[in-house]
Structure 1
Amino acid sequence: MTTVEPAHTRRGAIGRRNRLTLGRCSLLALALLVVAMAVTTTYRSDSEAASGAKPKFVAAEYGADTYGAKVVPAIKKNAVQITTLHKAMAADSEAAGRTYGHRAGTGPYSYAVTLTGTAGAARGGLMQVSVPGLDKIRVSVQIGPAVNGTALRDAPGFITFGQFTNQVDYADAATALNTEMKTKLLKTFDPVAVKGKEVTVTGAMTPLTADLLTITPISIEAAS
């Protein structure tokens, strides 16, 4: 006599066989994926990985490489007389910026400038200079020990944010240029020795108003 299995028993057996088959297929697919990854993956040693990475930004090296070789020549080449610039700024600050300055985005314009005037007293890291034609305008030159701002970075026009990995490196570049300038120029500058004398100053500035002009210098020459 033939015994017929109940329908639910047959369905259970078929389900178990299907699950076993699916399990084997999944394991086979996983094994094939691992093999494919092993074939297509290129492994590099730690030293090889490091050599392919972007070099870390070193601010001091950037300042030494960029200040004297690039920033100073650019500022000297593009320096506008401060009296000419002030007149243009007073008439139309935006037009003056487009004509004589550089800026990133919508920030303030920075300018390369030159001036000749009489050196005054040095106070709070600033040397006042009386410039003919700017009698009612406060003109100051940063002489340290603290030198602030980003004018040396921004006024030349060739240094942009896109050249750096992040905002920190971009800010450090400005500080490095200020530091290099202090080493090359201000370290040997004596404001007492030039007080009351005619001086010619070339440098960069980022004025917020036309009535307060503060220059970060790249050269200060006193008349003999």
Structure 2
Amino acid sequence: MRLSADIKAFETRIGHTFKRPELLVRALTHGSVSSTTRADNQRLEFLGDRVLGLVMAEALLLDDTSASEGQLAPRFNALVRKEACAEVAREIDLGAVLKLGRSEMLSGGRRKLALLGDAMEAVIAAVYRDAGFEPARDMILRLWGPRIQSVEEDARDAKTALQEWAQARRQSPPQYVEVDRSGPDHAPVFTIAARLESGEEAKASAGSKRQAEQTAAKTLLERLDNA
């Protein structure tokens, strides 16, 4: 199989030349364009998630030999969650080479967090199946490297941390309310308010409700810490 010029350029960005290029094509194929003769990337995504998890677990152990399991677990979650995978995908412009159906393209699929995160995991699996564990690990460490060194001591996601803050003060769990939606249907921007029973709140906007909720929770936590 001969790869197109844009996918060859993507190989350069991830630092791996495929001996079996059909694996990369499959990793970049979303379910919206799959068929009986063209497999999508879901099975590769399943495998890539596990390969990423093993590499991150090992990297964290080596990066901090004195950390307890309780410290390592939230750091691990921060590095392997879908948001982190999507951030890496955006840095290597994975969205530009995704194979999508017309409906997904019109709805802004190349920018969607879930699609980018899933495809990033599928690319990891494609490298693993093409060349084995070592090249897959090398690619992951190269792309995730700065994040491993800078992952926060307490890397719990902001929504979890805010809920624990509320529980510690015997408050009800935080509420997340959509207060505005703007932009075209294919690229909406959601504004979410994170609200506590005691009256404090913070708002944030993002291209997905999930990201807006996380950012609002983080903003509110920072405000509470500085109060």
TM-score, with structure 2 as normaliser: 0.24
Could you say which structure has the higher helix fraction?
2
Could you say which structure has the higher strand fraction?
1
Q: Which has the higher contact order (CA 8 A, sep 6+)?
A: 1
Q: Give 1 or 2 for the bigger CA radius of gyration.
A: 1
